[in-house]
A = this chain, B = another copy of it.
Amino acid sequence: MTTGTASTQAYEQLARDLTVGRYAPGSRLPGERELATQLGVSRATLRLALSRLESEGILQRSAQRGWFVPTQVIGEPPSTLQSFTEMARARGLRPTARVIRQEVRPAGMDEAAKLRIAPAAPVIEVDRLRGMDGTPVCFDVVVVPENRAAALATADLTDASLYDVLRERCGIEVHRSAYTLMAESADAELARLLGIGAGAPVLVGDEIAYTSDGTPVLIGHNKYRGDAYRFEADLFRRA
């Protein structure tokens, strides 16, 4: 006989069976009761071995369904709206933002149409230079109706997430954004702000953000350094 406790032996036997390919990836193992009988241990002991295999990622449990051999496939994230701030943090970088302009002014005709407000109704415009770890990456213009987000006019938006401010200070929860992306060349002013050469490629994103009831609440216009930013999304094909 071998050495070790019964649960360790069961663990090792299962690990062997799995590496040897006794159970196909994606398949379900026999039930705990049957497996325990096969291995000659009690169910409680078997479960210790199974839990150990799960903690090592060799097995996956699914309550009331069974134990499964993992498939190598990892699920990709669905297309999701991620703010610049969140994106930077997800990459372990510190998001920064320098406010260049922050003022209340009358809405232009197309802005009013997009935001479904009266022409020349007051809007707040915030221009910011956004970066990661201090390096400028994006020039960002945001326009919000003043009657919906008055607090934004005076809030300190330096290094802050605008989405966070909208949610916490104005009670506005962005749910969906219609995005348009295109490639342009940087003009002299933008090139200076982003620290790139004039004519360098920039990724231009236009956004209209909506709350969950479909009300437009924000117009965004972002110009990203072409060499420092990517845009990712999942798209679905209709059945």
A interface majority secondary structure:
loop
- Looking at the assembled complex, report how far the CB atom of A178 sits from the nearest CB atom of chain B, in whole angstroms: 5
Contact across chains for A30 and B201 when beta carbons are under 8 A apart: no
Q: Mark A118-149, 1 if CB is under 8 A from B, else 0.
A: 00000000000000000000000000000000
A51, CB-defined interface residue at 8 Å: no
Contact across chains for A62 and B6 when beta carbons are under 8 A apart: yes
Q: Mark A49-89, 1 if CB is under 8 A from B, else 0.
A: 00000000000111111001000111110111100000000
Number of residues on chain A facing chain B (CB within 8 A): 66
Q: Give CA–CA (A214, B63) in the complex, Å.
A: 23
A110, CB-defined interface residue at 8 Å: no
- Looking at the assembled complex, report how far the CB atom of A207 sits from the nearest CB atom of chain B, in whole angstroms: 9
Q: Give CA–CA (A204, B202) in the complex, Å.
A: 11
Residues of B within 8 A of A177 (CB): 234-235, 237
With known contacts A1-B61, A63-B5, A226-B184, A175–B236 Cβ distance under 8 A: yes
Give me the interface of A with B, judged by CB distance under 8 Å: 1, 5-6, 16-17, 20-24, 27, 30, 60-65, 68, 72-76, 78-81, 116, 173-185, 199-204, 210, 213-215, 224, 226-227, 229-239
